[in-house]
Structure 1
């Protein structure tokens, strides 16, 4: 049977439980997923030659990583051609592109240092999300940035944050698509601190100062992201979950909360937090990863939590209220494959959620018919979802089934293998 024939059969079966597969596909075609640039070069960036520091680490040395802006953009373009649906690109400030002899430190970054990224985004018809880079810099003093007791250190990183606000405004104006600008630092302490409040008060005041930079909140969406711990800051982080959520709630007219599902305790799940935040915030943002046992940033799979995250977004009619971005980096396997796997799986999870009889499930819960609720949810797991997914891929002009990996192998042979 052809992909179309298999789809028509699946469509009829889904229709029997009140699910319109055509509608689901059309909705998904308009949902943007933000593709993170740092998977392609192991979070190295282009503005410094030092090691990756600041509570994060990339493992592996698979050959073929991108080493120039041109290589990184070519790799991202390849990935976007292999996954269906709408995309954005997500870049860190450390990926500024300088002309020869025109390097500036992060507090002096300007829109012109990201013009090539704008040109790339415009050529692909996508928007840009952005992140100040509060790590991998000699200006990180004793592991601290915005929460540092050293005033000059704080001032430097505040200037960096303000510069990033201006750059985010530039991105949004140039592409016509809102820019989500995420503030995250690895500030914290390896062992038990003597003062927990002081660093958080400094952190609060620093972010408030960054957000005092003028911007159009319709175009620039600053976010605050928490983290439970990191390498070298195992005992305390200034930007805890309680801190960032409280900060976002107090400043909801100018910033959003961002949840990374690797940034919580092992028994916590972001899928359960999404509807809670939707009760209070008009918009929220996500970094989707796979934490395994901690924030290890594994490749996103079509696993239980990714599907549950997608279900909570879809069943709560929040596709236009939740900004979805990917955040992981694996240097132990082919980076193009890692990127594509995660991008396809996030899109796949959203389609799976759109193909659930969500109205019926809510009614069963509200009428306390919990026996049937469980039964319907379990039976839907074996519906011919794969046939709808294949048709969605084909309708978007992207590879079906294993064909995308054949393209990755070809790209590795023809492009990646020539990189030293």
Structure 2
């Protein structure tokens, strides 16, 4: 059947084998925080703050670094292709010691680097500018308090240094992404002042030049959040301008915009002016930004735009969702595979014929081709991709997840 499907696609000028090669060479950065509900390993009570919340209490949450790595290994065993780990600073291996965030060092993440090397993974990193006493007032890098700003500047500087060590040791650039929750529940009197302080703090963070072969800086915006419904300092316009001006990567999080707003249309514009793009593939539902990714129109549109713009070499694809109401390994597997399926569907589009029809003004053929592509048996190609990577196909996925739940997760009190 797969050979027959290849022939069908070939009749439209689509090379299926080339699409599968692109799938293999396009890693997805798997976010660690799905596995323990954004708890981290700093030794606190695990209570989230700074407008973040995780709902649900499904049994089997990872309670230690060893359990989180065990769960990540299980999730990775269900995913075809190549992948990366996306780690937040609060997940350091601190050996039971209290290490404040302005004092983190590469040594606190060496065991993660070693684990990634063993697993054949690249690694990305994030400063954790939330769920900390110095973020309780709602502001970090834009705080009116100079001492608070200095603390978070030191934390973000340390995070960049850690990112550079990660990239150097693993031989693959680490994307170090800065997101801060700064904002207000009600209307501010001085928006400009907060944004000027944020710009100055970011300038201080990025002052030291690091090799892009080891570390890639990215900045991330948000529309609003819990407790910052009326004003977010780091808006899309702010970070878009900052990334353009300073030539950092720009992170577009699919859950950080208006519920009816797609980031797909932004991709081609942004890529004209920044060197690289970071995507956080997520799913916004009303005022919540981090539901498990689905094989839906919004995600398909994002991947289509990346492929149509020939932007995969300049784009870093990561995930950002957390759901504690369902099996956490299932959430990783379902969400990552959904993103991958959307990417595969985009790679199987008859792009050259579509472009030619559009250039010739033949919009009838363009529409026909788009609809024809939707009806082709792309799922056969997906199953072949899973088979070649020795991971479960769609019908076998549930059994693999349930077996791990019975043998491992059920034993965690």
* TM bin (shorter chain): over 0.9
Aligned-pair Cα RMSD in Å: 1.0
State the partner residue of 1:247.
Answer: 242
Deviation at 1:205, TM superposition (A): 0.5
State the partner residue of 2:50.
Answer: 54
Deviation at 1:214, TM superposition (A): 3.8
Distance in 1 (CA, whole Å) between partners of 2:243 and 2:80 is 33
Distance in 2 (CA, whole Å) between partners of 1:17 and 1:248 is 39
Q: Contact conserved, 2:81 with 2:389, CA < 8 A, in 1?
A: yes
2:208 aligned with 1:209, yes or no?
Answer: no
Q: Contact conserved, 1:145 with 1:154, CA < 8 A, in 2?
A: yes
Unaligned runs of 5+ in 2: none
Stretch moving more, 255-264 or 293-302: 293-302
1:69-108 CA distances to partner (integer Å, 9 max, x unpaired)?
A: 00001101111110101100001001011113x3210000
1:167-220 CA distances to partner (integer Å, 9 max, x unpaired)?
A: 001100111010001100110000001110001100010011000134212321
Distance in 2 (CA, whole Å) between partners of 1:121 and 1:112 is 15
TM-score by length of 1: 0.96
TM-score by length of 2: 0.98
State the partner residue of 2:104.
Answer: 109
1:97-152 CA distances to partner (integer Å, 9 max, x unpaired)?
A: 1113x321000000111111111100011111000000000121411110000010
Q: Contact conserved, 2:87 with 2:123, CA < 8 A, in 1?
A: yes
Say which SS state the counterpart of residue 243 (structure 1) adopts: helix
Say which SS state the counterpart of residue 350 (structure 1) adopts: helix
Alignment of 1:255-334 (within 5 A): 255-334=248-327
Equivalent in 55, 61, 73 of residue 77 of structure 1:
73
Alignment of 1:368-387 (within 5 A): 368-387=361-380
Stretch moving more, 357-366 or 234-243: 357-366
Q: Contact conserved, 1:165 with 1:213, CA < 8 A, in 2?
A: no
Stretch moving more, 78-87 or 206-215: 206-215
State the partner residue of 1:32.
Answer: 27
Distance in 2 (CA, whole Å) between partners of 1:92 and 1:79 is 18
State the partner residue of 2:359.
Answer: 366
Alignment of 1:26-175 (within 5 A): 26-47=21-42, 48-100=44-96, 102-175=97-170
Say which SS state the counterpart of residue 139 (structure 1) adopts: helix
Say which SS state the counterpart of residue 222 (structure 1) adopts: strand
1:210-260 CA distances to partner (integer Å, 9 max, x unpaired)?
A: 0013421232111110000000010001000000000001100xx211100
2:405 aligned with 1:412, yes or no?
Answer: yes
Say which SS state the counterpart of residue 320 (structure 1) adopts: helix
Q: Contact conserved, 2:387 with 2:393, CA < 8 A, in 1?
A: yes
Unaligned runs of 5+ in 1: 1-5
Matched residue count: 412
